[in-house]
Amino acid sequence: MPSTDARAESRIKLAVFRVGSAVYALDVANVREVVRWQTVTPLPVAPRLIEGVIDLRGAVVPVVDLGRVLGMAAVVSSGSARIAIVESDGLVMGLAVDAAVEVMSVEVSALEDPPALATQAGYDAARAVVRRSGGAPVLVLSLEHILESVYRSALGRQQVSRSEPPASGDHREDAA
């Protein structure tokens, strides 16, 4: 009979969230906590995907809207909306989600690769898929992909600001 430690190592805990009408998961190892929705203070001229910041017990935490990262509608403030505080490589951020659904424990062997067609086409938002009997599959998101999307949105904003014409108050005339 396998030891309790061996059985525990063969399972993974996933924090499951709803964004729009779909459910997504993150490895619990990357989720510090899930907090109730609170007002997000906008950051002027921030990367497009950073909604702003919250004050979480004295720490300023940037908040990213997971709906927008995934190309869906923005998360709407509601009684069920939450902010998942996640950490990757020492970087802490909040992910705005429509609802926290559950923490599920699954066998590591139940994690399947995303469909080959999607990955060959460059899709890297999900690192695994969990099939559930009687329910839609749960995509296990890649936190690295989320961070990369935020970084790319910052680069896009920098390129746009460099190509914008001078502000209307900036009256430089050519001496021609």
pLDDT digits (tens, 9 = 90+) for 163-173: 444 444 443 34
Lowest mean pLDDT: which of 28-32, 83-87, 112-116?
112-116
Range of the domain at 17: 4-160
CB crowding 90-100: b at 16 or more within 10 Å, else e:
eeebbbbbbbb
Query: Is residue 11 included in any domain, yes or no?
Result: yes
CB crowding 40-76: b at 16 or more within 10 Å, else e:
beeeeebbebbbbbbebeeeebbbbbbbbbbeeeebe
pLDDT level of residue 121 (50, 70, 90 thresholds):
low
Query: Is residue 121 included in any domain, yes or no?
Result: yes
Query: Is residue 173 included in any domain, yes or no?
Result: no
pLDDT level of residue 133 (50, 70, 90 thresholds):
confident
> By percentage, how much of the chain surpasses pLDDT 70?
80
Query: Is residue 169 included in any domain, yes or no?
Result: no
> By percentage, how much of the chain surpasses pLDDT 90?
48
Asked if residue 16 lies in contact with residue 135, where contact means CB atoms within 8 angstroms, the answer is: no
* Domains identified in the chain, total number: 1
Q: State pLDDT tens for residues 60-69.
A: 999 999 999 9
Task: Return the pLDDT at 7.
Answer: 53
The domain spanning residue 26 has which CATH number? 2.40.50.180
For residue 152, the tally of other CB atoms under 10 A from its CB is 13
pLDDT at residue 176 is higher than 70? no
